Amino acid sequence: MQVLKFGGSSVADATAMSRVLDIVSKAAEKDKVVLVSSAISGATDLLIKASGSSEEERNALLEELKKKHFKIIERLFTGREQFDTKESIEQIHKRLLEARRDDYQAFGELFSTTILAKKLAYEGLDTLWIDSVDLIRCKMGSVDKEYSYKRIREVVESHPEIRVFVAPGFIAGDENAQICTLGRGGSDYSAALYAAALGANTLQIWTDVPGIMTTNPKEVKKAQTISRLSYQAAFCLASHGAKVLYAPTVAPAQEAGIDIQILNSLDPKQKGSVICDYPAREEGEWIGIAKRVCGDTAELALVADGKIAQQSIEDVRMRLNKRDISQLEFRDEGNYLLLKVPVSQALDALATLHYFCFEKDDYRKVYLAGKGAVGSALLKIIAESDANIDICAISAHECEDEAFFRKMMEEASPNSIFVDCTDSESIWKWYVPVLEAGINIVSSNRRALSVPYAEYAAMKRSARLSRRFLRYETTVGTALPVLFSIATSAASSDEILSIEAVVSCTLNFILTSELPFAQALKKAQEIGLTEKDPSQDLLGRDATRKLLILAREAGVKLEEKDIEIEPVEEDKVRSNQRFVASLVKDDSSALGYKASIRMKEIDETHPARSLKGTENMIIIRSTYQPSPLIIQGAGEGAMMAASRVLNDILR
């Protein structure tokens, strides 16, 4: 036995009813069906209105309702069948005019199911309309299941020839067998009672949404269909305001061990939702949010399947705090969180919770290597920002931490990002495997990008093939948009004529400090500008790395051996000099460019004359730019570097 229930919108008009008839006829090919239907949409509301109206107005309203049904009949039936069906509706209409006003609301289901039953019968199916008033009995306001189940079974068993039973939802009989109702939205409940009584193997609730959703899609666009959820979670959502299901429906189905399928009559192929004995897992997960408004407070129930970790609950609270949402109440109810917020903040709270719990795909998953100045600053900025970033793992080690990489690669997804804030010489060996595993890379590690050209090219290639990004804007000129500017020229066939990079923070500091060289160098070392071994800076090691990165960004396959380096000689340094790494177009060289790093005298008119302290400057000349592009600004600072790394993560 299958029980199929259709809501008001699924039988709203002739087109909708035809869809229902299709679905039911197909189902009846497999097994017997009990078709439970609501009134056509709006009918119950209209009947309730009529029950409180003046005689004249009542007559008009009830006439209007009859006409609506006639219109459906005129489209679904012809000839004698149309005449007969209209006649049946006319009879019900007469009874309605004579009924007690309290009973009006029960008539909507009589109209709709009469039409459905007639149509199925005319189509040749063995159909029987059964009277829910007689079969479902209420005692002191609740359903007498024992009696009702027995009656339902008796009637169904006494009609073995019948293929489709058609039953009105929502209505039942009271102790005196007088008509009563099961509460607004009660047709779902009727269906569950029929299913439980008959031990049905299928219970389908057909509606006009794709299923039970993570929240009301009218309020949060990104609401998703929940494919499976437990009876408990479904009950919890339904009893806290989710309109898709009438909460009392859950109990009969659960007691009888019948799954409840929620399906979309507008798109029957969709999978919908299944409410079942979903084993509550040890590590629970959020399943949906129901919202209900009481006066000027909104109550949000964030429902879970299984037990939610305390940390997740704290995270929810933190998210709301960050958005300044006042929590009038925040209660952990075991399998759900009950939140009360001012109505004015309800939609914001709903969107925030939904985003946090169900739109995690938008989150960047960051795996950070290196907890030095930049790494630590990055963690701080992320913690303070609103950015949707999950820090999945941190490796404090400067070199390879196998476990860290293994975890990252196991969890790889298109939104995973490996962030290298180390200054490891060897960590670059991981770049290709990481990219190939489908993980993006953001690096502030200059050493990793200034490896031999073949290795660099392999990284770029892996990134391209696996469609992941490899970003390293901070490796030269920290926060200055240097690489971006060069890459833009290179990509738009604007040939680079020269790049002059005054990017050594150490030397810029020394040269502009007006202190004697040795003293200035010592100070630079103290404030952490220099390499661990400051002679590296004087030998141009750091400048070499930067120049390699710059040149390659411009499309030049520069290697270290191609760079002419004149180390800084302490006693020859004068303040009208700058330490310049340059790349100049030169057709006589095999590469097409000449690269050098040296102290250069610059006259008063040279832009680098204006540099102060640790500032950096890059001067780019290209064919189409009539005057050079000059990028100047602060060249160091952990917070600044970190914010630029964050930009690489997010952009």
Binding site for ligand ASP (CB under 6 A): 7-8, 38-39, 44, 108, 169-170, 184-187
Name 274's bridge partners.
228, 261
Q: Which residue is nearest to Mg ion (CB)?
A: 185
- Closer residue to Mg ion, CB minimum distance, 7 or 370: 7
Q: Two tokens at 493? A: 């066939």
- Closer residue to ligand ASP, CB minimum distance, 38 or 127: 38
Total chain residues near Mg ion (CB under 5 A) = 2
The item of ligand ASP, Mg ion, none sharing an interface with residue 635, based on CB under 5 to 8 Å by kind, is none
- Closer residue to ligand ASP, CB minimum distance, 243 or 380: 243
- DSSP collapsed to 3 states, 402-427: HHHHHHHHHCCCCCEEEEECCCCCCH
- Closer residue to Mg ion, CB minimum distance, 242 or 617: 242
Distance CA 535, CA 437 (A): 39
Residue 5 C-beta: closest distance to Mg ion, Å: 9
- Closer residue to Mg ion, CB minimum distance, 185 or 306: 185
- Closer residue to ligand ASP, CB minimum distance, 185 or 635: 185
Residue 501's nearest CA partner among 650, 645, 611, 364 is 611
Among 3, 5, 6, 7, binds Mg ion (CB under 5 A): 7
Hey, how many other C-beta atoms are within 10 angstroms of the C-beta on 558? 23
The item of ligand ASP, Mg ion, none sharing an interface with residue 184, based on CB under 5 to 8 Å by kind, is ligand ASP
One-letter amino acid at 166 equals: V
String of DSSP letters for 563-607: EEE----GGG--TTEEEEEEEEE-TTSTTSEEEEEEEEE--TTSG
- Closer residue to ligand ASP, CB minimum distance, 170 or 278: 170
Residue 108 C-beta: closest distance to ligand ASP, Å: 5
- Closer residue to ligand ASP, CB minimum distance, 38 or 478: 38
For 267, the 3-state DSSP assignment is coil
Helix 107-122 vs helix 79-98: crossing angle, to nearest 10: 160
Residue 2 C-beta: closest distance to ligand ASP, Å: 19
Residue 357's nearest CA partner among 224, 523, 234, 504 is 224
Residue 558's nearest CA partner among 453, 447, 420, 418 is 453
String of DSSP letters for 259-321: -EEEEETTSTTS--EEEE-PPPPSS-EEEEEEEEEETTEEEEEEEEESPPPHHHHHHHHHHHH
Residue 106 C-beta: closest distance to ligand ASP, Å: 9
Walk across the sheet containing 285-294 and list its strands: 285-294, 297-305, 336-342, 329-332
Hey, how many other C-beta atoms are within 10 angstroms of the C-beta on 641? 24
Distance CA 61, CA 48 (A): 10
- Closer residue to ligand ASP, CB minimum distance, 189 or 431: 189
String of DSSP letters for 501-545: EE--HHHHHHHHS-S-HHHHHHHHHHTT-S-SSTHHHHTTHHHHH
Distance CA 294, CA 339 (A): 13
Residue 190 C-beta: closest distance to ligand ASP, Å: 8
Residue 11 C-beta: closest distance to Mg ion, Å: 12
Distance CA 211, CA 273 (A): 5
Distance CA 4, CA 20 (A): 10
For 57, the 3-state DSSP assignment is helix
The item of Mg ion, ligand ASP, none sharing an interface with residue 108, based on CB under 5 to 8 Å by kind, is ligand ASP
120 membership: H or E segment, kind and range = helix 107-122
CB 47 within 8 A of CB 63: no
Hey, how many other C-beta atoms are within 10 angstroms of the C-beta on 402? 9
- Closer residue to ligand ASP, CB minimum distance, 39 or 233: 39
- Closer residue to ligand ASP, CB minimum distance, 187 or 230: 187
Residue 131 C-beta: closest distance to ligand ASP, Å: 17
The item of Mg ion, ligand ASP, none sharing an interface with residue 170, based on CB under 5 to 8 Å by kind, is ligand ASP
Q: Considering the rule CB under 5 A, would residue 306 count as an interface residue with Mg ion?
A: no
- Closer residue to Mg ion, CB minimum distance, 7 or 168: 7
The item of ligand ASP, Mg ion, none sharing an interface with residue 306, based on CB under 5 to 8 Å by kind, is none
Residue 168 C-beta: closest distance to ligand ASP, Å: 9
Residue 36 C-beta: closest distance to ligand ASP, Å: 9
CB 243 within 8 A of CB 213: no
Residue 223 C-beta: closest distance to ligand ASP, Å: 22
The item of Mg ion, ligand ASP, none sharing an interface with residue 39, based on CB under 5 to 8 Å by kind, is ligand ASP
Site for Mg ion in 165-204 (CB under 5 A): 185
For 283, the 3-state DSSP assignment is coil
The item of Mg ion, ligand ASP, none sharing an interface with residue 370, based on CB under 5 to 8 Å by kind, is none
Q: Which residue has the tokens 């970033």?
A: 389
CB 259 within 8 A of CB 247: no
Q: Of the ranges 4-12, 42-50, 77-85, 559-567, which one interacts with Mg ion (CB under 5 A)?
A: 4-12
Alpha carbon 63 to its chain centroid, in Å, reads: 48
The item of Mg ion, ligand ASP, none sharing an interface with residue 156, based on CB under 5 to 8 Å by kind, is none
CB 359 within 8 A of CB 222: yes
For 137, the 3-state DSSP assignment is strand
Hey, how many other C-beta atoms are within 10 angstroms of the C-beta on 296? 9
CB 212 within 8 A of CB 245: yes
Residue 251 C-beta: closest distance to Mg ion, Å: 17
CB 507 within 8 A of CB 517: no
- Closer residue to ligand ASP, CB minimum distance, 35 or 501: 35
Q: Of the ranges 3-11, 42-50, 74-82, 619-627, which one interacts with Mg ion (CB under 5 A)?
A: 3-11
Residue 245 C-beta: closest distance to ligand ASP, Å: 10
Distance CA 631, CA 620 (A): 8
Residue 182 C-beta: closest distance to ligand ASP, Å: 8
Residue 139 C-beta: closest distance to ligand ASP, Å: 21
- Closer residue to ligand ASP, CB minimum distance, 243 or 331: 243
Binding site for Mg ion (CB under 5 A): 7, 185
